[in-house]
Every structure is written in structure tokens, then in C-alpha cells.
Amino acid sequence: MTRRRLVLSVNGGDHEVWVLPSDTLLDVLHDELGLADVRYGCGEGVCGTCTVLLDGEPVNGCLILAVQAAGQKITTLRGLMGPGETLHPLQECFLRRGASQCGFCTPGMVLTALDLVRRRGRPSRDEIRYALVGNLCRCTGYTKILDAVEEYAGQAAEAAPAEVRS
């Protein structure tokens, strides 16, 4: 198989990569672009450790090919941080609530939860549970992750009370 040139827009910057048609987005982001926050966990789309936002929507990087991501904006966890690695408020909540143990699921959890809060404003705890079913955690038992997302959603709702809820 021959490699082809591809430009991927990742975390606000364009990156030229040479990929095989069979390369998954996960392979390219982790191994070619060195993004350690996009992780192989199962390769089946079950665990969610390879979650990235594609034009704002969470997808499993192991289930789509790199070539399919061309022309779309890819955001990984690191893309949420401000200048000087300032934590995003949702990351702050994860830290404060002890929502990471081994940390392997954290990027996927944060990205999926962020999408939920953007879509739903202030989701109920059950809605958070539902949104996170595709992001497995084996360490925390989820309670502290739910606490963190709830806290962030509360902050976000207070900061932007007029935000449209779909």
C-alpha cells in the first residue's frame, strides 16, 4: 500500500502527515503526531480512551480512518488548555474532585463530558451517566467523575445562563 499526503487540523494547527489508507486516526495522532493524550485501549470502539472531538463531536479515533478526518477540526484533550497549559475549567473540576486515578480514561471522559455540557447546558446526573457509557473507567467507580462533570456544568450554566439549550 502506498502512503498519501494528508493535512490534519489538530488543536488549531495544520499538520502534514503521510498515511496509509488503512491507518486509523488513533494511529496517526498517537504515533505520527505524538499526541499521547489519544490512547489505544481496545480498538473496538468500546472503551473510549481514544476519544477526540471531530468538529466538536466526540468520536473514537480507533474506529475512523485518518483519511476520513481530512478537512475537519480535530480537538484532543490538550487542545482544551489555554496558553501556558492553563487548565480548562472542566479539567480543574476533574483535578479538584479526584476524578482521575490512573488517568488513562481521563482525556476521553473530559472530551465527551464537555460535548454533553455544550449541548445540554446543565444535564442531570443521569444524563451525564448516559453520555459517558462509551467511556469506561476501571479505577474510580465513576462517582467522582460524575461529581466533576456536575460541578463544571453548574459553573458553566451560571457563567452563561442565557446559553441556548437544544
Partner 1 sequence: MTTVGPPPAGERQLTGQPYRVVGQSPAHHDFVDKVKGALLYAADWRLPGMLHGRIVRSQLPSARITGIDVSAARALPGVVAVLTAADVPSNSIVEMASGGLAELEVSMPVLATDRVRYLGEPVALVAAVTQQIAAEAAELVSVDYEELPGVFDAESARADGAPRVHEVGNTLVSWQIRCGDAAAALAAADVVVEGEYRSQHVEHAYLEPEAGVGWMENGVLTLRVSTQVIEHAVTIARILQVPQSKVRVIAAYMGGGFGGKEDMTVEPYLALLVWHTRRPVRMIWDRQESLTGSTKRHPFIMRYRTGATSDGTLTAQQVEILGDAGAYPNLSPRVLFAAAACACGPYRVPNASITSSAMFTNNVPSSAFRGFGAMQIVLGYESQMDELAARLRISRTELRERNFLAKGDLLPSGERVGTCVEVGPTMHRALALLGEPPPPSGPGKVTGRGIGCNRHPYGRAIWFRDKAAAWLSLQADGTLLIRCGVTDLGAGQAASLCQIAAEVLGAPLDDISIYIGDSALNPPAGGTFATRQLYMSGNAVLQAARELRDRMAPVAADLLGVPPGELEFAAGRVRPAGAGDAPAGAGGAPDGGDGGGVSVTLAELAAACEQRSISTAHLSTWRGEAGSFDPRTGQGDTFPDYTYGTHAADVEVDTETGQVRVLRYAACHDVGRAINPMRVEGQIQGGAMQGLGYALTEDMGIDDGYVQAGLFANYLIPNAQDFPDVLVGIIESGEGKGPLGARGIGEPPIGNVAATIASAIQDAIGVRPAQLPMTPERVLALIDMRAT
Query: Which residues contribute to the site for partner 1 (CB under 8 A)?
Result: 20, 22, 30-31, 34, 36-37, 39-44, 46-47, 49, 76-78, 81, 85, 87, 91, 94-107, 110, 125, 128-130, 132-147, 150-151
C-alpha closest to that of 94 among 51, 147, 159: 147
In terms of Cβ atoms closer than 10 Å to its own Cβ (0-12, 13-18, 19+), residue 160 is exposed
Task: Give the other-Cβ count within 10 Å of 117's Cβ.
Answer: 22
C-alpha cell, 13: 494547527
Toward partner 1, which CB reaches closer, 6 or 91? 91
As measured in angstroms, the least distance from the Cβ of 164 to partner 1 is 26
As measured in angstroms, the least distance from the Cβ of 72 to partner 1 is 20
As measured in angstroms, the least distance from the Cβ of 7 to partner 1 is 22
Give CA–CA dist 135/145, Å, rounded.
11
Toward partner 1, which CB reaches closer, 70 or 87? 87
